[in-house]
Amino acid sequence: MTIDRRLVLAGGVSTAFHLLAGPVRAQGRDATPQGFAGRAFVNERGGLRIHTYVGPPQGGLVTTHVVETPVGLVVVDGQFVAAAAQEAKRYVDSIGKPVLRYVLSHQHPDHWFGFHHWGRVGVHAGPATAAFLRQNGAALIAERRVESSVPEIAGVLSAGSETIGGVEFRFRPVMNTEAPEIVVVEAPAAGATIVQDLVYNKVHAVVSRQIDEWVAALRAIEAAGGTLPLVLPGHGEPAGIADLPRLVAYLEAVKPMIAANIGKESEAPAIVAEMSRRFPDHRLPPLLQLGLARALRG
């Protein structure tokens, strides 16, 4: 998904929604350092520790996940706004191990604009994401007028498994859902799937027209839940497979509203209002508005 300035304005509103709905249940232990605007969580299983940094609402509640192997770290996604990227980097530095690999899950700028603030990092990404960055990354930065740079592509990920830091990782590109390509990263030893924007945990989704493909991808994650029960989303706190039916219900609810309003972008606010009424515990309605602006375009 992508985020613009409206999100900053929406931060206060969504926080109020959040408080009304009560705290969001997160998988794992809260490990937020004092003074952080974002939050951090740690999940531990099979001798592996997975850290999740969730940026503040002003940063779209975007996540950075860090798989801690015995000898180093695998970092997935680099945040959107500068302040959140700097916090995420501070958190990663505090673990005290070298970063063995930076992974970018997909092309949307809320997951890579922030890499600029990590220093000179090269990222591994799927082929479509790598091509997008090379072709459109610089123009996107210029258009948004943000302080960022296109991260160097250090490697292209294809489907398959790879041992990094003595730990097995599986990479699985999923096509045509929230984004044209999302590389799902599985850490089987920890029973974890880093799904990024396939899952929004109690956060409004940047919807697309590919709802059927998206739901099918969620069903596949659900089916693998026996061995991979920990689901690490692109927006919001760590989740579990038990949280997926609610997201499927969300997508199924918005699907007919999109289908009935193609070419009628002016209907987006009414759809956002209706979805907020049906899903009152979801934060950041402007993300849904943003998705609809694209999905409804005739």
Q: Distances in Å between the alpha carbon of 228 and those of 75, 162, 185, 190? A: 19, 17, 11, 8
Nearer to Zn ion, 49 or 117 (CB): 117
Q: Where are the alpha helices (DSSP H) in 75-193?
A: 82-95, 127-144
Separation in Å, CA 114 to CA 35, 84, 151: 20, 8, 10
Distance (Å, whole) CA 252 – CA 181: 21
Asked if 1 is part of the footprint of Zn ion (rule: CB under 5 A), the reply reads yes
Q: How far is the CB of 35 from Zn ion (least distance, A)?
A: 25
* Closer of 48 and 232 to Zn ion (Cβ): 232
Q: What minimum distance in Å lies between the beta carbon of 83 and Zn ion? A: 17
In the complex, the smallest distance separating the C-beta of residue 263 from Zn ion, rounded to whole angstroms, is 25
* CB-nearer residue toward Zn ion: 72 or 238: 238
Q: Which residue's Cβ lies closest to Zn ion?
A: 1
Smallest separation (angstroms) from Zn ion to the CB of 255: 20
Across the chain, which distance is largest between two alpha carbons, in Å?
A: 53
197 binds Zn ion, rule: CB under 5 A: yes
- Please give the structure tokens belonging to residue 30: 């809260």
Instruction: Note whether 110 binds Zn ion by CB under 5 A.
Output: yes
What is the smallest separation between the CB atom of 294 and Zn ion, expressed in angstroms?
13
Say which amino acid occupies 230: L
Q: Which of helix, strand or coil describes residue 91?
A: helix
Restricted to residues 258-297, the positions that interact with Zn ion (CB under 5 A) are: none
Q: Which stretch binds Zn ion (CB under 5 A): 49-57, 192-200, 276-284, 290-298?
A: 192-200
Determine the interface stretch with Zn ion among 21-29, 34-42, 190-198, 274-282 (rule: CB under 5 A): 190-198
Binding to Zn ion, residues 234-263 (CB under 5 A)? 234
CA separation for the pair 174, 126 (Å, rounded): 10
CA distance 234 to 199: 6
Which of the 8 DSSP states describes residue 30? E
**Chain positions contacting Zn ion, by CB under 5 A:** 1, 110, 197, 234
